[in-house]
Amino acid sequence: MNRNLIAFILLAVSLIGVSCNKGGSKRAGMKDGKKVELQDAKGFTITEFDGYKVVEVVNPWKDSVLLHRYILVSREASIPDNLPEGDVVRVPVSKISCLYSVFVGSLELLGQVSTITSVAEERYIENQMVKQGIASGKIKLLGEASAVNVEGLIDSNPDIVLVSPFKDMGYGKMDKAGIPIVEVASYMENSPLARAEWIKFFALFYGKEKQADSIYSALCDRYGKVREIAKGAKVKPSIFADKKFGQVWNMPSGNSYMSSFFRDAGASYLWDDVKQSGVIPLSFEAVYQKAENADYWLVKYNKPQDMTYDDLGKEYDGYKMFKAYKTRKVIHCNTNRISYYEKGVMEPDVILADLVKILHPELLPNHKQVYFQLMK
């Protein structure tokens, strides 16, 4: 049986399955359910009903607007009547497609990496189990997350597809593949802890809620201890972040998780007053006007070798004009060598300790930095 025929059959089966699993048009009153309290995350809600759970993802670009609703029903139970509208997903899932490496760290902590059957952008994945799965052919490669090989996706036969939503962007042919698209908007949260709490979101699809609660509670304790230490800082050095991409400098906004990192580390972030989520697209001139005399500059990049000051200056001559460049106060993370996106999401306490060690070395003299260092 050739590949195209297999893909066609799987597509047909998937469409039939989703048609059977779609919730009815009648909406159940959310007031009848028991809302699960979350500690920090604002981007999703959980409401428990008799026989199912409703998970709603909030649209991060439109306040109070729903981005997606999922109805989770146990595989062992019948589909209840009068479900609210939404994508019905049978749980626990046993096979998933993972389009972004940033999700792998949470899945690893939950012990669910083995459920991954296909991935996109494999060059960013560090997890050895996933790499072995790719090498053996058990995990299929789907190309770029923005242009997924839909035939390969269907061939991998996942129960769900984990994606990161982006503003005003759809999913093209993938949207018609009949596989529930699970939108994980964790990157739009406004604090590292809120972002990490999305492990509870992943856990819902595996029935691992208690495990996720325990992991998150321990993480919060560790993060809180470092944050308390940082409060002992006597000065708050000014800082800005990232660098040009083409003609645009995407600066983290004042409500971004990066700005929260800076505040918690005892720094004064120069764009802290811009109260919006995500990033602010700026010109080089706009950044230079505000950050010319900033004490520190934090950059992340993906290069085969760690960047030096010479490399940074050669990349764009204007970078040399910043005080942080001249005084050798550039903080960097090479995401090609350091698993920042994959593991860092679930180790915000370690990232925070790195920043405190750099900004206030007297407060954490024995901390061994993992993600961020001063550029050499």
- What's the mean pLDDT in 119-126? 92
Predicted pLDDT at 19: 37
Mean pLDDT score across all residues of the chain: 91
**Band of the pLDDT at 31, cuts 50, 70, 90?**
low
Predicted pLDDT at 30: 62
Predicted pLDDT at 141: 97
Enter the pTM of the model. Answer: 0.87
**Band of the pLDDT at 20, cuts 50, 70, 90?**
very low
Rounded Cα distance between 291 and 242, Å, is 12
* Whether residue 25 has pLDDT greater than 90: no
pLDDT tens for residues 309-331? Answer: 999 999 999 999 999 999 999 99
**Band of the pLDDT at 210, cuts 50, 70, 90?**
very high
What are the CA-CA distances from residue 223 to residues 169, 199, 200, 346 (Å)? 34, 16, 17, 11
**Band of the pLDDT at 62, cuts 50, 70, 90?**
confident
**Band of the pLDDT at 11, cuts 50, 70, 90?**
very low
Reduced to 3 states (helix: H, G, I; strand: E, B; else coil), residue 240 is strand
Q: Which helix (H) or strand (E) holds 88?
A: strand 87-91
Enumerate the CATH 3.40.50.1980 domain ranges in the chain, comma separated: 234-374
**Band of the pLDDT at 277, cuts 50, 70, 90?**
confident
* Whether residue 16 has pLDDT greater than 80: no
- What's the mean pLDDT in 188-202? 96
**Band of the pLDDT at 276, cuts 50, 70, 90?**
confident
Q: 30 versus 287: which is more confidently predicted?
A: 287
* Whether residue 27 has pLDDT greater than 60: no
* Whether residue 65 has pLDDT greater than 50: yes
How far is the first Cα of the chain from the last one, in angstroms, to the nearest whole number?
57
Look up residue 203 and give its amino acid. Answer: A
The C-alpha angle 13, 14, 17, rounded to 5 degrees, equals 85
**Band of the pLDDT at 172, cuts 50, 70, 90?**
confident
- What's the mean pLDDT in 252-262? 95
**Band of the pLDDT at 60, cuts 50, 70, 90?**
confident
142: Cβ–Cβ under 8 A, 6 or more apart, which residues?
97, 99, 118, 119, 120, 148, 149, 152, 153, 156
Q: Answer whether CATH 1.10.10.10 is correct for domain 234-374.
A: no
The alpha carbon of 197 is separated from its chain's Cα centroid by a whole number of angstroms, namely 11
- What's the mean pLDDT in 62-90? 92
- What's the mean pLDDT in 248-272? 96
Indicate left, alpha or beta for 259 from its phi (over 0: left) and psi (-120 to 50: alpha).
Answer: alpha
**Band of the pLDDT at 24, cuts 50, 70, 90?**
very low
**Band of the pLDDT at 53, cuts 50, 70, 90?**
very high
**Band of the pLDDT at 100, cuts 50, 70, 90?**
very high
Rounded Cα distance between 65 and 113, Å, is 32
Q: What is the DSSP string of 94-114?
A: --EEE--GGGHHHHHHTT-GG
Rounded Cα distance between 124 and 83, Å, is 39
- What's the mean pLDDT in 117-143? 95
